[in-house]
Amino acid sequence: MEKLTISSYLEFSEFIGKELGLSDYYPITQNQINLFADATSDHQWIHTDQERAKNESPFGATIAHGYLSLSILPFLWNQIVEVNNLKMLVNYGIDKLKFNQAVVVNSKVRLRAKLNSLVNLRGITKAEINVKLEIEGNPKPALEGSLLFLYHFNES
């Protein structure tokens, strides 16, 4: 799918209930997992000890932190939608987030997004985006839920 470009509430509203697109696949590397462990002080062996994970983990390798998977969503979201005429974007929340499947090191993931709802709150656009983080070759998504964004568009 081609990247969607929007500049206003009205343009965005045309996509309510529709799939917005897919990002490219993005590789999850051990280096990235280790850097995330350092950034969050979460060095649980299932993420960082490759030899132990190979021998003791039910996954046969290290896995990405669930919150690492969550943290790449804004990067992948920007591959799907380009928002112009924007004064400010605020992450407003996450609803019904569920981690469904571990992301094994060296897996590739992509984001699938659908616009669930759009509300005009006195000039601020509240968007609810249903997201699934898909793992290449795996029918079960790594995570799914609804991201809530507040878009503050410049007045036209």
pLDDT digits (tens, 9 = 90+) for 71-117: 999 999 999 999 999 999 999 999 999 999 999 999 999 999 999 99
Task: Identify the pLDDT of residue 155.
Answer: 79
Single-letter residue type at 148: L
Quote the pTM value.
0.92
pLDDT digits (tens, 9 = 90+) for 59-84: 999 999 999 999 999 999 999 999 99
Phi-psi region of 152 (alpha: psi -120 to 50; beta: other; left: phi over 0): beta
Note the CATH number of domain 4-153.
Answer: 3.10.129.10
C-alpha span between 30 and 12 (Å, rounded): 37
In the Cβ-directed half-sphere of 27, how many Cα atoms lie within 13 Å?
A: 4
Surface-to-core class of residue 68, CB atoms within 10 Å of its CB (0-12 exposed, 13-18 middle, 19+ buried): buried
122: helix, coil or strand?
A: coil
pLDDT digits (tens, 9 = 90+) for 25-36: 999 999 999 999
The domain locations on the chain are 4-153
pLDDT band, very low/low/confident/very high, at 156 (cuts 50, 70, 90): low
